């Protein structure tokens, strides 16, 4: 299979490529129909497409056989970036995060730490082995940059629990901002690692954007794909990384996190 990467940020490119793999589905007759009817081309309800029940799965198959990879971004706050380049991205491992939690908060009573872990028990199993990524890094830093500010969501939740037990004491969450470096990893995910349901969501978003372009009726929604990978992503899929300087901060005033570290030993 030829190496082709779907980069969601480069809309002009993926819209232009549609004719190479889906020209027979999204043909001139279809365009004329949409230009005439001008429906609202939603991504979560594709009934605006004629024969959508057959067309959408067929389009999804073509998309998945055309692209070998999807470019995606992973926000994190690693203490050791090199390990990503050596071992790849590893799915959520609760026991490792719990061990780090105990180290970072070793000054807190062990029974309090255990209580925080116990209360979040289900969460550590439901997220097991998963990795979250998104198709647009700029949007990520605006909408959910907290992974780059605080690191692991699970670790943040554990620290938040601890803060609740100690209501008048320290807000333990801020301690997570003193370790590691805010980082965005650029990853080319092999399309085969993306679950069928998420491939279908991307296909629907592409059809929606294409439809809005054809009808000229823009819905004003700025969608971007989210990928939840179940399992590890090999190191050779990591194409680059950078350290964002400004990240929107939903947890703390004034709402903009400014990072002072924008270089690391692994920066090219
Ligand atoms: Zn770096």
CA 238 to centroid of ligand 1, rounded, Å: 13
CA–CA gap between residue 268 and residue 255 (Å, rounded): 30
Domain ranges of the chain: 5-70+195-223, 81-186+231-258
The terminus-to-terminus CA distance of the chain in angstroms comes to 30
pLDDT for 173: 93
CA 263 to centroid of ligand 1, rounded, Å: 5
User: Taking Cα atoms as reference points, which of 245, 160, 230 lies closest to residue 196?
Assistant: 230
CA 262 to centroid of ligand 1, rounded, Å: 7
CA–CA gap between residue 79 and residue 164 (Å, rounded): 26
CA 233 to centroid of ligand 1, rounded, Å: 19
Distances (CA, A) of 205 to 34, 75, 157, 208: 17, 22, 31, 5
CA 86 to centroid of ligand 1, rounded, Å: 14
pLDDT for 144: 85
User: Taking Cα atoms as reference points, which of 207, 205, 202 lies closest to residue 31?
Assistant: 207
CA 239 to centroid of ligand 1, rounded, Å: 12
pLDDT for 264: 92
Q: What is the pLDDT of residues 207-263, one digit of tens each?
A: 999 999 999 999 988 889 999 999 999 999 999 999 999 999 988 888 999 999 999
CA 111 to centroid of ligand 1, rounded, Å: 37
Per the CB < 8 A criterion, the answer to whether 264 and 243 are in contact is yes
Rounded (10°) angle between helices 196-215 and 11-22: 100
CA 180 to centroid of ligand 1, rounded, Å: 11
Place of tokens 């294409």: 210
**What are the residues facing 5 on neighbouring strands?**
69
pLDDT for 48: 97
pLDDT for 125: 73
What 8-state DSSP symbol labels residue 180? S
CA 112 to centroid of ligand 1, rounded, Å: 35
CA 242 to centroid of ligand 1, rounded, Å: 5
Enter the tokens of residue 227: 């990928």
Per the CB < 8 A criterion, the answer to whether 101 and 114 are in contact is no
CA 172 to centroid of ligand 1, rounded, Å: 26
> Which residue stretches of the chain have pLDDT < 70?
124
CA 268 to centroid of ligand 1, rounded, Å: 7
CA 81 to centroid of ligand 1, rounded, Å: 7
pLDDT for 25: 97
């Amino acid at each position: 299979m030829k190496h082709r990467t779907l980069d969601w940020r480069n809309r002009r490119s993926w819209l232009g490529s549609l004719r190479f793999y889906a020209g027979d589905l999204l043909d001139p007759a279809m365009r004329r129909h949409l230009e005439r009817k001008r429906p609202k081309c939603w991504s979560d309800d594709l009934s605006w497409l004629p024969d959508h029940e057959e067309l959408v799965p067929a389009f999804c198959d073509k998309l998945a056989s055309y692209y070998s990879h999807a470019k995606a971004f992973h926000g994190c706050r690693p203490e050791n970036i090199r390990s990503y380049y050596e071992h790849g991205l590893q799915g959520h491992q609760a026991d490792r995060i719990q061990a780090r939690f105990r180290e970072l908060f070793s000054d807190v009573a062990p029974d309090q730490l255990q209580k925080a872990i116990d209360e979040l028990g289900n969460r550590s199993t439901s997220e097991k082995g998963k990795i979250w990524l998104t198709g647009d890094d700029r949007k990520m830093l605006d909408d959910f940059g907290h992974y780059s500010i605080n690191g692991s969501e699970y670790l943040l939740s554990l620290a938040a629990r601890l803060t609740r037990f100690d209501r008048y004491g320290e807000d333990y969450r801020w301690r997570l901002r003193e370790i590691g470096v805010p980082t965005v990893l650029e990853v080319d995910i092999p399309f085969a690692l993306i679950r069928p349901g998420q491939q279908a969501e991307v296909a629907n978003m592409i059809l929606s954007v294409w439809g809005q372009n054809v009808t000229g009726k823009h819905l004003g929604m700025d969608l971007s794909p989210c990928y939840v990978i179940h399992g590890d992503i090999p190191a050779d899929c990591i194409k680059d990384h950078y350290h964002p300087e400004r990240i929107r901060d939903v947890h703390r005033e004034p709402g903009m996190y400014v990072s002072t570290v924008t270089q690391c030993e692994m920066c090219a």
